[in-house]
């Protein structure tokens, strides 16, 4: 009873205080502005799984400003009218923030985006369903599938390095592991770009194929015009090979020690390079010996072009290879071919000659010209189909050799717009497996079909 009385008294006092006492103000009643509530909806573009559609659904009245941070390191940008379309090309987890500001203050809506290109792009509701069924490097279980790269591509996180990581199990430097780049002047080495490529491979569990220690076309001028005796020249070459192969011991799995040493002309003699002039015909053997001594576990290849299309050159190549005995592990047959040439039988002959010698085969530098006669202005579906068929043919031949002879099949470039062939032939072509926008071409499926 006592407690009830006390409570009633307190209630009465409260009512009296709240009803009376305070003086009325003279001015208008100010209602402080209410905060708006930031909110947005996000959906994946129905036409591109790497594009997110962001719809600002902020709830509130009065003036406010909306800003987006897409979580890609670029900070906030002002919201534009309509739906925002934002690309997410790189694998990872990103926070998308919508920040809304009015007089009353700031509110934010933050949502998470997960991108896995192996699962097709942006993962719906953050759930990535990865199927490796159509990924070259995963479907190819008995040999490495390679491509080329550059330091500029692996130094930054971006779609170029993602493409390599997603589809390929081996990389080759397009031009930064050649003598003109690594030994630019007497007494000076520059391994910065080569290191970046090798470290990228090692960090991502991607095989690194070294290309190419000795190549007449990437020989620096100071070597071509060497001032010194022949003996000094030989010491310099030995030091270059030893230094380079030792540097990447345990990281670079294989090297093209000598590249394109054979002349195209009749009889296919040894090219009269500065190496042949200063060290004699034996220069090739010496180079392989120095590479072998520097890293006995590294696979050593001889690499050359027109191995399928020219029987004479193929014979000259096998002659060199035979003369090297156990200093060489494999043949690198460059596959710069056309959609209609060379024949299947001639490509098969390269494989057969290599297998019969018990050597490893590297189908290197694969690109398939779709426009060798410059009679096309765009890649027609008919040509794309023929090109696809040639990819399948090459891969089938490679895939059919015994396991012990397998090593890698390396494609010479990712996107058509980056091919060396445009400059070389002076007209457009589409020799690779990806379009400029990184979408896959029929050639990619052709490669996959060759693996079946």
Q: Are 382 and 388 in contact (CB under 8 A)?
A: no
Angle at 253 between CA 365 and CA 335, to 5 degrees: 10
> In terms of CB distance, is 420 or 425 closer to ligand 9MR?
420
DSSP 193-246: HHHHHHHHHHHTT-EEEEEEEEEGGG--HHHHT--S-HHHHHHHHHHHHHHHHH
> In terms of CB distance, is 89 or 365 closer to ligand 9MR?
365
Closest Cα to residue 315, out of 357, 363, 362, 273? 357
We find the least distance from the C-beta atom of residue 198 to ligand 9MR, in angstroms, to be: 17
Q: Taking the C-alpha atoms of 289, 295, 299 and 302 in order, what is their torsion angle to the nearest 10 degrees?
A: -30
> In terms of CB distance, is 174 or 295 closer to ligand 9MR?
174
Q: Is the peptide bond before 212 cis (omega within 30 degrees of 0)?
A: yes
We find the least distance from the C-beta atom of residue 259 to ligand 9MR, in angstroms, to be: 6
Pairing mode, strands 76-78 and 40-44: unpaired
Q: CA of 150: how far to CAs of 175, 216, 301, in Å? A: 7, 21, 21
The kind and range of the H/E element at 159 are helix 159-167
We find the least distance from the C-beta atom of residue 303 to ligand 9MR, in angstroms, to be: 7
Which runs of consecutive H residues, i.e. helices, occur in 225-336? 230-247, 274-279, 283-294, 311-323
* 69, 162, 365, 393: residue in contact with ligand 9MR (rule CB under 6 A): 365
We find the least distance from the C-beta atom of residue 312 to ligand 9MR, in angstroms, to be: 19
We find the least distance from the C-beta atom of residue 233 to ligand 9MR, in angstroms, to be: 22
We find the least distance from the C-beta atom of residue 253 to ligand 9MR, in angstroms, to be: 18
Residue 108: which residues within 8 A CB-CB, separation 6 or more? 38, 97, 98, 99, 100
Is residue 260 among the annotated active site residues? Answer: yes
For residue 312, count other CB atoms closer than 10 A to its CB.
Answer: 14
371 touching ligand 9MR, by CB under 6 A: no
Size of the site for ligand 9MR (CB under 6 A): 9
420 touching ligand 9MR, by CB under 6 A: yes
d(CA 355, CA 15): 102
> In terms of CB distance, is 107 or 371 closer to ligand 9MR?
371
Marked catalytic residue, from 84, 365, 382, 449: 365
We find the least distance from the C-beta atom of residue 310 to ligand 9MR, in angstroms, to be: 15
389 touching ligand 9MR, by CB under 6 A: no
> In terms of CB distance, is 50 or 334 closer to ligand 9MR?
334
**Token pair for 82:** 């309509």
**Token pair for 10:** 């307190």
Q: Give exposure, 409-438, as e/b (b: 16+ Cβ within 10 Å).
A: bbbbbbbbebbbbeeeeeebbbbbbbeeee
**What letter does residue 434 receive in the DSSP assignment?**
B
We find the least distance from the C-beta atom of residue 171 to ligand 9MR, in angstroms, to be: 14
Site for ligand 9MR in 74-133 (CB under 6 A): none
> In terms of CB distance, is 214 or 321 closer to ligand 9MR?
214
334 touching ligand 9MR, by CB under 6 A: yes
**Token pair for 160:** 């170029």
Site for ligand 9MR in 247-286 (CB under 6 A): 259
**Token pair for 43:** 């959906």
Q: CA of 436: how far to CAs of 86, 119, 418, in Å? A: 19, 21, 8
Scan for tokens 């620096």, then name that residue.
Answer: 220
* 198, 218, 333, 370: residue in contact with ligand 9MR (rule CB under 6 A): 218
**Token pair for 243:** 């230094």
> In terms of CB distance, is 160 or 365 closer to ligand 9MR?
365
Site for ligand 9MR in 149-208 (CB under 6 A): 174-175, 178
What is the maximum alpha-carbon separation in the chain? 123
Marked catalytic residue, from 23, 260, 382, 436: 260
d(CA 5, CA 402): 100
We find the least distance from the C-beta atom of residue 399 to ligand 9MR, in angstroms, to be: 23
> In terms of CB distance, is 68 or 434 closer to ligand 9MR?
434
> In terms of CB distance, is 118 or 306 closer to ligand 9MR?
306
Which residues sit at the interface with ligand 9MR, rule CB under 6 A?
174-175, 178, 212, 218, 259, 334, 365, 420
Q: Which residues are known to be catalytic?
A: 260, 365
């Amino acid at each position: 009873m006592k407690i009830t009385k006390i409570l009633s008294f307190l209630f009465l006092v409260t009512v009296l205080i709240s009803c009376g006492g305070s003086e009325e103000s003279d001015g208008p009643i100010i209602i402080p502005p209410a905060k708006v509530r930031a909110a947005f909806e996000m959906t994946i573009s129905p036409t591109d799984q790497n594009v997110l559609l962001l719809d600002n659904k902020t709830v509130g009245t009065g003036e406010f400003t909306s800003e987006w941070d897409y979580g890609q390191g670029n900070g906030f940008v002002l919201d534009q009218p309509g739906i925002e379309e934002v690309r997410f090309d790189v694998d990872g987890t990103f926070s998308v923030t919508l920040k809304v500001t009015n007089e009353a203050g700031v509110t934010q809506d933050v949502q998470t985006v997960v991108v896995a290109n192996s699962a097709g792009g942006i993962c719906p509701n953050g759930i990535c369903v990865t199927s490796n069924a159509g990924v070259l490097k995963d479907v190819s279980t008995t040999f490495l599938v390679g491509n080329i790269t550059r330091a500029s591509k692996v130094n930054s996180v971006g779609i170029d390095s993602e493409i390599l990581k997603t589809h390929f199990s081996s990389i080759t430097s397009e031009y930064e592991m050649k003598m003109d780049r690594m030994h630019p002047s007497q007494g000076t080495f520059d391994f910065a770009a080569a290191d970046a490529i090798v470290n990228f491979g090692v960090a991502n569990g991607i095989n690194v194929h070294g290309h190419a220690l000795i190549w007449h076309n990437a020989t620096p001028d100071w070597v071509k015009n060497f001032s010194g005796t022949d003996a000094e020249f030989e010491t310099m070459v030995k030091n270059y090979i030893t230094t380079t192969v030792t540097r990447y011991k345990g990281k670079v799995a294989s090297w093209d020690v000598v590249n394109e040493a054979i002349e195209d002309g009749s009889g296919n003699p040894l090219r009269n390079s500065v190496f042949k002039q200063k060290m004699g015909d034996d220069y090739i053997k010496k180079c392989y010996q120095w590479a072998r001594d520097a890293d006995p576990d590294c696979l050593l290849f001889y690499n050359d072009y027109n191995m399928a299309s020219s029987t004479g050159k193929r014979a000259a190549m096998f002659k060199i290879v035979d003369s090297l005995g156990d200093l060489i592990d494999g043949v690198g047959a460059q596959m710069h071919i056309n959609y209609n040439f060379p024949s299947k039988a001639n490509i098969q002959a390269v494989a057969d000659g290599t297998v019969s010698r018990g050597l490893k085969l590297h189908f290197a530098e694969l690109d398939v010209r779709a426009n060798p006669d410059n009679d096309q202005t765009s890649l027609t579906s008919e040509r794309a189909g023929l090109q696809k068929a040639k990819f399948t043919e090459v891969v089938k031949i490679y895939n059919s050799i015994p396991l012990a002879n397998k090593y890698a099949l390396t494609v010479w470039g990712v996107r058509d717009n980056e091919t060396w062939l445009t400059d070389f032939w002076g007209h457009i072509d589409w020799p690779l497996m990806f379009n400029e926008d990184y979408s896959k071409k029929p050639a990619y499926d052709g490669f996959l079909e060759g693996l079946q």
